[in-house]
Amino acid sequence: MTEAHGHPGLFVTLEGGDGAGKTTQAALLEAWLADAGHIVVRTREPGGTEVGVLVRDIVLHHRGEVAPRAEALLYAADRAHHVESLVRPALARGEVVIQDRYLDSSVAYQGAGRVLGRDEVRDLSLWATGGLLPDLTVLLDLDPAAARARLDADDKPFDRLEAERESFHERVRAEFLALAAAEPDRFLVLDAARSADALAADIRSRVASILG
């Protein structure tokens, strides 16, 4: 594996709205890489560590308002601990980390609330992680109405953010697309309305090209 990003491993993140199919794609990519002999760590934010599980419970299941700056700090705290205790050590060992959500989620979701600016949310995460950026970020782009239909079919109760208004999810989507446009080398943007197999094939081919 090349060491283009200051570590011998590979850091892949999956982003997109709720219901875009990140979990399915993470599982398919993990299976493919493991078959090829890589050691794969699959994880997520919020909640990839024991501390993170506690933070996840506050940000997703607390009833009532959480002040926007407090919410941004909670995600950043989860991220700081996760990166230091799990992600960086795995990358240093040369492993592949496949992660459901990372700092782009903070910019898109916390920034889309309109109270906090894109740059301040991003800077907070960069401070929290010592500047760790993914080698590849797969954005599964999906119209919020289609995503909503998928979540409805799931029959699980909505968490705090899933229950936000449609306009919020439109802004989140637009913010993800703007982030991808600003960093085209890091992002792979895919139309998540396509079949899971077709999406997985595109993701595999990008990852294969990075691995050389």
Select from 28-36, 98-106, 128-136, 202-210 the region that touches ligand TYD (CB under 6 A): 98-106
48 token code pair: 């990839």
- Smallest gap from residue 211 Cβ to ligand TYD (A): 26
Binding of ligand TYD by 159 (CB under 6 A): yes
Name the nearest CA neighbour of 96 among 189, 14, 187, 8.
8
Binding of ligand TYD by 25 (CB under 6 A): no
| Longest pairwise C-alpha distance within the chain | 48
Name the nearest CA neighbour of 21 among 202, 164, 175.
202
Q: Decide: 70 and 125 in contact? Cβ < 8 Å.
A: no
Looking at the Cβ atoms of 158 and 208, the one nearer to ligand TYD is 158
Type of residue at 141: D
- Smallest gap from residue 100 Cβ to ligand TYD (A): 5
In which residue are the tokens 């950043």 written? 76
Looking at the Cβ atoms of 101 and 148, the one nearer to ligand TYD is 101
Q: From the list 106, 116, 139, 175, which residue makes contact with ligand TYD (rule: CB under 6 A)?
A: 106
Q: What is the total count of residues that contact ligand TYD (CB under 6 A)?
A: 15
Beta strands (DSSP E) in the chain are 10-16, 40-44, 96-100, 136-141, 187-191
First to last CA, the chain: 7
Binding of ligand TYD by 100 (CB under 6 A): yes
- Smallest gap from residue 75 Cβ to ligand TYD (A): 4
CA 103, distance to chain mean position in Å, is 7
| Interface with ligand TYD (CB under 6 A) | 18, 44-46, 60, 75, 100-101, 105-106, 109-110, 159, 161-162
